[in-house]
Structure 1
Amino acid sequence: MADYPYNTARWQRLRRRHLAMHPTCEACEQAGRLTIANTVDHRVPISAGGPPFPAHDGLASLCASCHSIKTARGVEAGAVRTTRKVQPRKGCDANGNPLDPAHPWRDKSLGADATRTAVPLRNQLVSKGNRNGR
């Protein structure tokens, strides 16, 4: 973390202000967890042409774990270069929806459809005869 811009007083002030404004991890919130953020991340990495000192909407508050996962998926990964901008995010939120906003199941309910009536389970079971083998 000794590289520009992270070694400047300007970045330290920006980081402190951002964490004061957004103290919880954004990625954990999407997954339905509440975790204190300790890392401020550039939404557009500096290595991809992002500004070193963006406005607060260009920054994300993350916990160390989520920051490591995000960095490993992104263009900062170094050895991992793909034609896609970002690898899909794995996992589900507390409601069972995928965390990846581009996932085809995103915002689709996995629960019972309100237009259908529930069928009792006993009507779905198939009897294989008497339990005693008769």
Structure 2
Amino acid sequence: MSKWPYNTAAWARLRTAHLSIEPLCRGCEAEGRLGTANTVDHVVPISQGGPAFPGHDGLASYCASCHSAKTARGAEAGAIRSTKPRRGCNPDGTPLDPAHPWHEKSLRAKVHVPSSHLNPQLVSGEE
């Protein structure tokens, strides 16, 4: 992070201001989790023609893990760009990888449990 514009006082002020406006990680939020952001990222990378000091709508807050995953799969990764899907699941158990077979409709069909398999007895609080 020692390259321009990240080593300037102007970036430090912009970063601090943006983290105060958007303190939660966008990546975690997209996965249904709450994570504290500690990294500010350009929505349009500077290498792709984005402004070095954009307004807050041109910036995004991420935790270190989500920022690394986004950068490794984005245009700014260049020749070392990863095509591997993110591993793991959301809090509801669905896979993070949108191409995972689980996302096919046939696999998400709800299983019907016949009422004959349910226990009809109730437990009372009396002893």
TM exceeding 0.5: yes
Q: How does 1:1-134 map to 2 (within 5 A)?
A: 1-80=1-80, 90=86, 91-96=88-93, 99=96, 105=103, 110=108, 112=110, 118-120=112-114
How many residue pairs get aligned? The number is 115
Question: Is the Cα contact below 8 Å between 1:88 and 1:100 reproduced in 2?
Answer: no
- Work out the CA distance in 1 between the residues paired with 2:45 and 2:116: 56
CA shift for structure 1 position 39: 0.2
Identity of aligned residues (%): 60
AA in 1 matched with 2:56: H
- SS across alignment from 1:78: helix
Matched residues in 1 for 2:7 and 2:22: separation?
22
Compute the TM-score of the two structures, normalised by the length of structure 1.
0.67
Q: 1:78 to 1:55 in 2, by over 3 A?
A: same
Q: Equivalents in 2 of 1:79, 1:52: separation in Å?
A: 22
**Would you say the 8 A contact 1:24–1:35 is kept in 2?**
yes
Q: Rate the CA distance shift 1:37–1:51 in 2: closer, same or farther, 3 A.
A: same
Q: Post-superposition, which runs of at least 4 consecutive aligned residues in structure 1 deviate over 6 A? A: 100-103
Using the size of structure 2 for normalisation, the TM-score is 0.70
Gaps of 5+ in 2: 118-127
Name structure 1 gaps, 5 residues minimum: 124-134
Compute the displacement of 1:46 (Å): 0.4
Q: 1:25·1:62 contact (CA, 8 Å) conserved in 2? A: yes
- Aligned partners of 1:96 and 1:110 also within 8 Å: no
C-alpha contact 1:25 1:35 (8 A) present in aligned 2: yes
- Provide the residue aligned with 2:122 in structure 1: none
Deviation at 1:73, TM superposition (A): 0.6
